[in-house]
């Protein structure tokens, strides 16, 4: 017989943030890899990350509609149609929520219509997935979903290490749960994504610049000389600076991000000028934020991790609450909203 879930068993959102903060070196590879790969894939769809974000924003309106009406659509069902109906486009809402100038939004919407991504069919407005799929195949969707699952899995292990949960869900269980309840889980992912991208665009003016800088930072964090263990978020942010003695060149950054080399060079100059990176006499760049740039980076990073904590809170707090109401400890537990509603 099922028991009434215990409210006291929930994991406080601040506690989640503190766990991430304490163990950031363990979660950082999965976290930054997810963000970097998402930005790279987004750029490679239209050659414009913001334009892709606008499409995500419009599709997210459907996710909001589904949630408002108690509907959860699984991954395979959601992507089976060639078109997806979306609500009426409101330039002002997009501008406000994505923090983009209205004229930029209007121009990008026009380009999406011209390219056939957004179409008007009688009284309906639809996103034509066949056009997007030319640049963003289904395999890429699964890559992102698997990377999100990896993030959940790694945090799941941290919760176990901190004695907050007794069971660890395996990677395939998490993937299947995300797929089964795709629209619910991706609504929450997009909320986090919008906060993250808005923060860094506001600081660096565009997301392509951040994407390039992030690859430079990841290159430093993966360097053999940076083998820090059991350090918190602030220590990680400080110690990763200047650890990459070799650096990476503009051509490699272009190959990795898909951004043309001349554009990469121009944006590297901006990052150097604003003290986010340094460049040596061999034209190799490395992360080495100092002074105001480091403080700004730390502030934005903290804000984004708070947003990430909220995202994880929605998933794992439900696990904690619902699991407290089960009296069959032998059954592998997956939260109700990840199992779906039949």
Is residue 9 scored above 80 in pLDDT?
no
Cα distance between residue 296 and residue 23, in whole Å: 22
> Which pLDDT belongs to residue 60?
94
Is residue 322 scored above 50 in pLDDT?
no
pLDDT confidence bin for 223, thresholds 50/70/90: confident
Q: What percent of the chain has pLDDT over 70?
A: 87
Q: What is the pLDDT of residues 238-265, one digit of tens each?
A: 888 888 878 899 999 999 999 999 999 9
More confident residue, 341 or 158: 158
> Which pLDDT belongs to residue 328?
43
pLDDT confidence bin for 333, thresholds 50/70/90: very low
> Which pLDDT belongs to residue 318?
56
pLDDT confidence bin for 3, thresholds 50/70/90: low
Q: What percent of the chain has pLDDT over 90?
A: 58
102-131: buried (b, 16+ CB within 10 Å) or exposed (e) per residue?
A: eebbeebbeebeeeebbeeeeeebbbbbeb
Which tokens is 106 given? 């209007």
Can you tell me the mean pLDDT for 50-78?
93
DSSP state of 118: E
Q: What is the pLDDT of residues 284-297, one digit of tens each?
A: 999 989 889 999 99
Residue whose entry in the numeric block shows the structure tokens 């941290």: 158
Is residue 155 scored above 70 in pLDDT?
yes
Can you tell me the mean pLDDT for 1-23?
74
- Name, in order, each residue with C-beta under 8 angstroms of 332's C-beta and a sequence gap of 6 or more: 167, 169, 173
**CA-wise closest residue to 6 among 327, 314, 310:** 327
pLDDT confidence bin for 225, thresholds 50/70/90: low
**Phi-psi domain of 163 (left: phi exceeds 0; alpha: psi -120 through 50; beta: other):** left
> Which pLDDT belongs to residue 246?
82
- Name, in order, each residue with C-beta under 8 angstroms of 296's C-beta and a sequence gap of 6 or more: 203
Is residue 332 scored above 70 in pLDDT?
no
Quote the pTM value: 0.89
> Which pLDDT belongs to residue 49?
97
Cα atoms found within 13 Å of the Cα of residue 283, Cβ hemisphere only: 8
Q: 3-state DSSP call for residue 84?
A: strand
> Which pLDDT belongs to residue 249?
96
> Positive or negative, the Cα torsion across 81, 82, 83, 84?
positive
Burial class (CB in 10 A: 0-12, 13-18, 19+), 202: exposed
Rounded to the nearest integer, the mean pLDDT of the chain is: 86
Q: What is the pLDDT of residues 182-215, one digit of tens each?
A: 998 899 999 999 999 999 999 999 999 999 999 9
């Amino acid at each position: 017989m099922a028991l009434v879930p215990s409210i006291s068993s929930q994991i406080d959102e601040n506690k989640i943030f503190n766990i991430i903060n304490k163990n950031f070196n363990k979660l950082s590879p999965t976290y930054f890899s997810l963000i970097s790969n998402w930005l790279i894939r987004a750029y490679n769809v239209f050659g414009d990350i913001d334009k892709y974000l606008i499409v995500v924003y419009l599709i997210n309106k459907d996710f909001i509609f589904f949630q408002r009406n108690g509907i959860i659509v699984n991954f395979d069902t959601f992507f089976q149609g060639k078109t997806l109906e979306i609500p009426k486009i409101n330039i002002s809402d997009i501008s406000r929520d994505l923090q983009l100038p209205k004229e930029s939004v209007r121009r990008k919407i026009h380009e999406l219509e011209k390219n056939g991504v957004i179409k008007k069919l009688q009284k309906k407005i639809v996103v034509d997935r066949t056009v997007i799929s030319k640049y963003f195949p289904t395999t890429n969707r699964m890559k992102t979903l698997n990377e999100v699952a990896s993030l959940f899995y790694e945090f799941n292990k941290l919760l176990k290490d901190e004695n907050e949960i007794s069971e660890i869900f395996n990677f395939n269980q998490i993937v299947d749960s995300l797929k089964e309840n795709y629209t619910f889980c991706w609504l929450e992912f997009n909320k986090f994504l919008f906060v993250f991208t808005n923060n860094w665009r506001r600081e660096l003016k565009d997301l392509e610049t951040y994407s390039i800088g992030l690859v430079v930072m990841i290159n430093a964090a993966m360097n053999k000389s940076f083998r820090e263990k059991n350090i918190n978020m602030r220590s990680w942010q400080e110690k990763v600076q200047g650890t990459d003695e070799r650096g990476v060149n503009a051509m490699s950054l272009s190959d990795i991000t898909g951004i043309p080399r001349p554009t990469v060079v121009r944006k590297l100059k901006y990052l150097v000028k604003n003290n986010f990176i340094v460049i040596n006499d061999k034209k190799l760049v490395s992360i080495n934020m100092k002074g105001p740039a480091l403080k700004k980076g730390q502030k934005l990073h903290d804000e984004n991790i708070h947003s990430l904590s909220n995202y994880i809170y929605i998933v794992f707090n439900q696990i904690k609450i619902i699991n407290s109401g089960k009296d069959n400890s032998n059954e592998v537990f997956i939260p109700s909203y990840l199992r779906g509603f039949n």
